Structure 1
Amino acid sequence: MEFLLVLFMIIIGALIGGITNSIAIKMLFRPYEAKYIGKWKVPFTPGLIPKRREELAKQLGRMVVEHLLTPEGMKKRLENGNFKKHALDWVTKETDKLYYSNQSLQSILHSVGLEITEDQLRAYIHGFGKKKVQGLIEKNDDRVLRDFLDDDWLHKSEKGINQLSTYIQKALVQYIGGPEARQKILEVIQAYLGGKGFFGNMISSFLGNDGLADNIQPLLVQYAESEDGREMLERLISKEWEKLLNKKVRDITDLVGEELLDKAIHTIGTSLFPNGRLNQPLTDWLPKAIPTMFNNRIVPSLINKAADLLIGRMDVLFQSLKIEDIVEAEVASFPIRRVEQLVLNISSREFKMITYLGALLGGMIGLIQGIFVLLLS
């Protein structure tokens, strides 16, 4: 009989301990809302975590900013060579993927939300180019062309004049020595002597127009081939080049004409985007050397500069993002039922052990009570 009494007290103690711990665990989350009997609020409702949700959200936000996601930690991450390498590999992979995708430029623009036709693109280039040219002209209206060229360009232009005069000399000699120039010389002689009356007719009949042309043409060729002739051409070109260098922008604009400038800008747009150009894949637009150069030179430089910029502005960026407020708002809006499920999925074994420990302690207390009852009786 005494044994059954002790066993009964052990069982009761174990049940009380286990059930008490189980209820305590559940009361961490439940009930989710406060319960009322009439106007009287039932004690311990809602559960501990729902009741302290706002305070928990604030503490989590502070913990994340102060210990988990810190500017110093992000700086170290960005300074890490592995991060830059992974970023470079990712950009290179995406660039090659885009280049070899056989997608047309129009489909690529469509994928990023840009709907544009070739006519619209040419019109945009024309309008943009015209606006920039007009702005440049208005800004530099009183400046001369020389102001836009550095000393290196001016030095190159002097060499270019020498080469140009030599080229023109050769072309001029070739032309003057040809049949077309002889015919022109003959026509000039005939027109000249024909206007001199009797004296001109006498010379023409005595020497003959063909004879005069045959004598004059070699003289012209000889002079055109001479160093003096080349120097004369060089002086003429240099003189005209100096005039052009000293012309003001408005004078050059007037000389070229607004209509010609407009046509030139339109021609550039048309040459860049002829009909059907937008429907061609990138492999037809760009040679392989350009994506290779982009990946090998431009991308590493951009990644380094972007990382340096982010590192330098990390503190300001964190202040602007207000990560603590973001975490607090997200935690405060997170469903309690989902929090409970998440915690139980992670710690269900530990919670069971706590329940079993409660039952064990309750059973031990029941055993001790039973022993005392037996001793006292």
Structure 2
Amino acid sequence: MADTESIKELFLRRLQKVLSIVSLATVVLLLLQVTTGIAGPEWFRLYLFPVLLSAAVGYLTNYIAIEMLFKPYERREFHWIRLATFGLWRQGMVPANKDKIGRVLGEEIPQRLLNPEAISAELCETAADFTSNPAFIERIRKSVQVLLNHHKERIAAFLVPQIQSSLKEALRENFTAANLQLFWDRVLARWLDRPENRQLLSAGIVSGLKAKSPELCELLRRTMHDGVRDYVNTRLPFLPRSGEFAAGFVAYLDWDDIRRQVERKLEDPSLQELIGSELAHQSERFRAWIASPESEPQIEGFLNGTRVKLEHFLRDYLQRVIPATADQILNSEALWDWVKNELLPQVQQHLNYWLRNNGKRLVIEKLDLSRRIENSIREQDVREFHAMINAVAAEHLGAIQVLGYVLGFVIGLFQVVAGFR
């Protein structure tokens, strides 16, 4: 089919060239006949020349008419079409009426060819379908992962100060003396006010001391050894090595038996009661102290130091954890399952609601086919538009010229035949 069309176009172009040469030759012969009186043989002058002249008129008339659609492109004082029309035709029909053509096409095309409402509905439907398209979701996922992985360090550099600043502000607002006192009164003090809690805490302290009894006895032994030696050396400086001699008695004590006695004493219920009573007493003392004015400098110093340590810890922790956490979240199937199963359905629901109510109207307003068509035609270069028309309709325009030659030939033939009568 394509080869057939190419053959037809080639044949038509060659036929146009032949007819153009024949028509121009006929016009030249006419000018010679008028200017010199040379008419040629009688059979040519009476029978063939009138037919050729009529055909040439038909061919050249159609050629000029087609050229007059676009030429002259601009208003010019000298142009062969203007000369051929005795100055009446100053500009081609299309260039002269380009604004009007654009305005009319801008009105007619949206009404008859491209319905803005249908286009808007199709665009809105396509946009809504995208949110439920698995391939679209997968493309978003890959694009987001590639983008964020590429800028992971920059994202971390941006997020860490932001999160750190928010946490620091939260620490400053909440880690205060008033909140510390409130926490003590409402949580710790109330918990210590209950006997069963004090008993539980006392048992824990006793259990911890019992587990550490070997270390405690060793610490006691070294302390007594050093204490006795230093004490005797201080009191009896005139007796050489008296301190070492006195400290030697400490080493002879049965420290294993002392450790067992300590463990038995720790198991005594009265000791646990004593510890619980002391906890309650110290709790009341601390409650009174924390509410007193003299505690404010110490509490504030403690809070400031703790805040600084926490801020340093958070900064180091965030710088270490944020990149890995972000990468883990972005590659998490749970995240994208949530996007697909929860986020996008809600987006689609709101999008459909918006499209039904305002979306189509806004798309039509933004699309504004009439204005776009009118502006496109107004801004289109006439030469480019002419070339575009020729690319589409060159074959048909050439056929019109050939048809003009054929009709002129037939009319000329009728005239010759009529002359016989």
Note if 1:51 corresponds to 2:84: no
Structure 2 residue aligned with 1:343:
389
Q: How many angstroms apart in 2 are the aligned matches of 1:179 and 1:137? A: 37
In structure 2, the CA distance between the partners of 1:137 and 1:370, relative to structure 1 (3 Å rule), is farther
Q: How many angstroms apart in 1 are the aligned matches of 2:308 and 2:393? A: 80
Q: How many angstroms apart in 2 are the aligned matches of 1:264 and 1:50? A: 76
Q: How many angstroms apart in 2 are the aligned matches of 1:214 and 1:283? A: 54
Q: How many angstroms apart in 2 are the aligned matches of 1:134 and 1:314? A: 48
Note if 1:30 corresponds to 2:50: no
Structure 2 residue aligned with 1:129:
163
Out of 39, 55, 61, the position equivalent to 2:106 is 61
The answer to whether the 8 Å contact 1:77/1:83 transfers is no
Q: How many angstroms apart in 2 are the aligned matches of 1:364 and 1:36? A: 37
Q: How many angstroms apart in 1 are the aligned matches of 2:258 and 2:399? A: 128
Note if 1:289 corresponds to 2:344: no
The answer to whether the 8 Å contact 1:122/1:273 transfers is yes
The answer to whether the 8 Å contact 1:61/1:328 transfers is yes
Which structure has the higher relative contact order (CA within 8 Å, separation 6+)?
A: 1
Structure 2 residue aligned with 1:328:
374
Q: How many angstroms apart in 2 are the aligned matches of 1:359 and 1:72? A: 46
In structure 2, the CA distance between the partners of 1:219 and 1:94, relative to structure 1 (3 Å rule), is same
Structure 2 residue aligned with 1:218:
267
What is the deviation of 1:339?
0.9
Structure 2 residue aligned with 1:178:
211
The residue type equivalent to 1:5 in the other structure is: L
Structure 1, unaligned stretches of length 5 or more? 110-115, 146-163, 192-207, 241-250
TM-score, L = length of structure 1: 0.58
In structure 2, the CA distance between the partners of 1:270 and 1:349, relative to structure 1 (3 Å rule), is same
1:146-179 CA-partner distances (Å, limit 9, x unpaired): xxxxxxxxxxxxxxxxxx99x9899768635413
SS at match of 1:36: coil
The answer to whether the 8 Å contact 1:50/1:336 transfers is yes
Structure 2 residue aligned with 1:92:
138
The answer to whether the 8 Å contact 1:176/1:220 transfers is no
SS at match of 1:359: helix
What is the deviation of 1:304?
6.1
Q: Show the 5 A alignment for 1:1-377.
A: 5-36=46-77, 42-66=87-111, 67-68=113-114, 70-79=116-125, 84=130, 88-93=134-139, 95-96=141-142, 99=145, 105=149, 108-109=150-151, 118=153, 124-129=158-163, 132=166, 175-180=208-213, 183=216, 210=259, 212-219=261-268, 258-259=307-308, 262-263=311-312, 265-267=314-316, 269-273=318-322, 286-287=330-331, 289=333, 293=337, 296-297=340-341, 298=343, 302=347, 305-306=350-351, 309-310=354-355, 312-320=358-366, 322-375=368-421
Larger Rg: 2
What is the deviation of 1:32?
1.0
Q: How many angstroms apart in 1 are the aligned matches of 2:393 and 2:212? A: 105
Q: Sequence identity, in percent?
A: 16
The answer to whether the 8 Å contact 2:160/2:322 transfers is no
The answer to whether the 8 Å contact 1:60/1:328 transfers is yes
Structure 1 residue aligned with 2:184:
none
Q: How many angstroms apart in 2 are the aligned matches of 1:171 and 1:4? A: 138
What is the deviation of 1:343?
1.0
1:106-138 CA-partner distances (Å, limit 9, x unpaired): xx34xxxxxx9x4x6555334433554577799
SS at match of 1:9: helix
1:46-80 CA-partner distances (Å, limit 9, x unpaired): 21111111122223333454441614422234325
Aligned length: 305
Q: How many angstroms apart in 1 are the aligned matches of 2:401 and 2:123? A: 43
Structure 2, unaligned stretches of length 5 or more? 1-41, 180-196, 225-256, 288-298
The residue type equivalent to 1:293 in the other structure is: D
What is the deviation of 1:324?
3.4
The answer to whether the 8 Å contact 2:110/2:116 transfers is yes
Q: How many angstroms apart in 2 are the aligned matches of 1:134 and 1:55? A: 68
The answer to whether the 8 Å contact 2:103/2:374 transfers is yes
The residue type equivalent to 2:106 in the other structure is: G
Q: How many angstroms apart in 2 are the aligned matches of 1:363 and 1:96? A: 71
Q: What RMSD, in angstroms, separates the aligned Cα atoms of the two structures?
A: 5.4
The answer to whether the 8 Å contact 1:182/1:217 transfers is no
SS at match of 2:267: helix
In structure 2, the CA distance between the partners of 1:319 and 1:351, relative to structure 1 (3 Å rule), is same
Which has the larger share of helix?
2
The answer to whether the 8 Å contact 1:88/1:303 transfers is no
Q: How many angstroms apart in 1 are the aligned matches of 2:72 and 2:376? A: 21
In structure 2, the CA distance between the partners of 1:310 and 1:81, relative to structure 1 (3 Å rule), is closer
